[in-house]
Structure 1
Amino acid sequence: MDTGDRLLTPGEVAALFRVDPKTVTRWAAAGRISSIRTPGGHRRFRESEVRALLEGEAELSAQPMPADEFNGYR
């Protein structure tokens, strides 16, 4: 079984990065990490990409988030 093709939920990714699942969703919405949408509209993340980010082989997009978006304000 190739675990590189496994899809992770925002909660699973959040646990790996030790952040809140909403943070992972914000990263995806901002284009900082790629995601796939299920037919029901839920986000899923490729385990291989997440592992590469964790191991430092890739980086979250270097584009900084505006401070108001980071804090959840509009």
Structure 2
Amino acid sequence: MFKHRNIMSGSEDFSYISQSVQSAFLILGTGKEGEAPVYNPRMQQKEEIFKYGASLHANVAIEWLKQQHK
């Protein structure tokens, strides 16, 4: 089994971008503890959870658009 948890790729560029624009970084976990982590070729996606990520992005966009009309 996998002994390491919460390991991320060292090549993520998002921190560089977030120095210039307001940003938020989120990882939507789709696996179970002990399974292959994110960015691992053996990672298993649980597609039923994708609706939560889509909903989050839609909500952020809607709230941002509301702020633009104030």
More strand by share: 1
- Give the alignment's TM-score, normalised by structure 1: 0.35
- Give the alignment's TM-score, normalised by structure 2: 0.36
Larger radius of gyration: 2
